């Protein structure tokens, strides 16, 4: 799971559900792992190793397996609801996350089998989807922070979200009607804590604006920007940017799936696959590569500088 890219249909991003922190972590690792497999079906086993889980989320390996087993048991009973269409009419569909779960204690492995609804929302997506790197949400300690990050990263290219009606936002974050019923409790215990954690531990900077109808706050809108990571790098002129065939394939994929790069260079309506193929052609030309020098280095490109000739 080198790139650890989470990709979800926007219907799943905007769905309403209530998963615990560990349940969400399990699902995200499963989604990432599923991308490494071939064709995904309800009978395809998706393995989550306790060791990998402990490394990804910085938790003790000794407790990781127990946490995964406990979370997977409750996950089997969970469901999500999303906006759908039925016979050309607006509808709401309710679906489960997994069909079944298998535990392998000797290897510390939990095996999940995704439901048909989940599969169609995480695989073979060509449009109307959101993607982000798992590492961006791995340090979160609140389940609300993960959901808030997903909701807002969808709007990163626009710079601001839609105006969420309060009850709709509460449902998307996983709150029921009885939890933190007043606006002040909702903000103190959920919203502000999630905003602070996203700002402190992810690649996004966010803030929100409240909108009133009469005297009551009825809507919230988030403004988003991506942080610029400043690193000490070698000046691009010191690189030749003559990529090998394997490097061309590797960095075409990395660039195509990078949110910051794609927001600038992807063409409107272009699928990820088409974007990746177009980048492979571009990267064969070392002169054109230089136009992407900062992004290539940011995504891990390096080469040994040429030795100066000695007289």
The tens digit of pLDDT for each residue in 197-249 reads 999 999 999 999 999 999 999 999 999 999 876 444 334 445 677 888 888 88
If asked whether residues 130 and 148 sit together in one domain, one would say no
- 249 and 178 together in one domain: no
Q: Which structural domain, as residue segments, surrounds residue 64?
A: 1-138
Tally of domains in the chain: 3
Confidence tier at 304 by pLDDT (50, 70, 90): low
Show which of 199, 227, 255 is a domain's final residue: 227
Average pLDDT for 153-165: 95
Give domain status of residue 251, yes or no.
yes
pLDDT of residue 303: 66
- In the block, tokens 């927001």 appear at 263
Residues 146 and 250 in one domain: no
Task: Say yes or no: 248 and 218 in one domain.
Answer: no
The pLDDT assigned to 74 comes to: 94
pTM above 0.85, yes or no: no
Whether 134 maps to a domain, the answer reads yes
Q: Are residues 118 and 1 part of one domain?
A: yes
Judgement on whether residues 130 and 88 belong to the same structural domain of the protein: yes
Are residues 146 and 132 part of one domain?
no
Whole-number Å distance between alpha carbons of 18 and 197:
19
Of 177, 196, 227, which marks where a domain is finished?
227
Lowest-pLDDT choice from 6-10, 79-83, 275-279: 275-279
Query: Which letter does DSSP use for residue 16 in this model?
Result: B
| 202 within a domain of the structure (yes/no) | yes
The CATH number given to whatever domain includes residue 38 is 1.10.10.10
Q: Packing angle between helix 143-153 and helix 21-34, nearest 10 degrees?
A: 50
Q: Which residues contact 243 (CB under 8 A, 6 or more apart)?
A: 251, 283, 284, 286, 289, 301
My answer on whether 132 and 143 are in the same domain is no
Residue 113 lies in a domain: yes
Strands (E), the chain: 5-9, 46-49, 79-86, 89-96, 98-104, 109-114, 129-133, 164-165, 204-213, 216-226
């Amino acid at each position: 799971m080198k790139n650890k890219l989470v990709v979800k249909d926007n219907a799943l991003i905007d769905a309403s559900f209530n998963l615990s922190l560990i349940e969400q972590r399990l699902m995200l690792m499963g989604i990432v792992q599923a991308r490494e497999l071939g064709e995904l079906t309800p009978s395809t086993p998706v393995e989550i190793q306790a060791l990998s889980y402990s490394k990804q989320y910085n938790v003790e390996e000794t407790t990781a397996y127990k946490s995964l087993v406990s979370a997977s048991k409750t996950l089997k009973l969970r469901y999500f609801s999303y906006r759908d269409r039925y016979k050309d009419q607006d509808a709401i569909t309710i679906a489960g996350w997994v069909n079944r779960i298998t535990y392998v204690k000797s290897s510390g492995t939990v095996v999940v089998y995704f439901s048909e609804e989940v599969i169609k929302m995480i695989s073979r997506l060509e449009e109307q989807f959101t993607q982000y790197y798992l590492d961006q949400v791995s340090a979160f300690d609140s389940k609300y922070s993960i959901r808030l990050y997903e909701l807002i990263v969808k709007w990163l290219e626009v710079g601001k979200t839609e105006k969420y009606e309060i009850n709709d936002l509460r449902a998307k974050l996983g709150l029921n009607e009885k939890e933190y019923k007043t606006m002040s409790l909702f903000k103190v215990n959920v919203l502000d804590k999630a905003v602070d954690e996203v700002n402190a531990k992810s690649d996004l900077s966010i803030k929100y604006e409240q909108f009133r109808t009469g005297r009551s706050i009825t809507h919230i809108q988030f403004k988003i920007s991506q942080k610029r990571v400043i690193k000490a790098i070698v000046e691009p002129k010191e690189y030749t940017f003559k990529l090998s065939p394997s490097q061309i394939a590797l960095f075409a994929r990395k660039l195509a799936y990078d949110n910051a790069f794609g927001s600038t260079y992807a063409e409107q309506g272009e699928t990820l696959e088409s974007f990746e193929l177009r980048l492979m052609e571009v990267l064969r030309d070392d002169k054109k590569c230089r136009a992407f020098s900062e992004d290539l280095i940011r995504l891990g490109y390096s080469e040994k500088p040429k030795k100066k000739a000695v007289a």
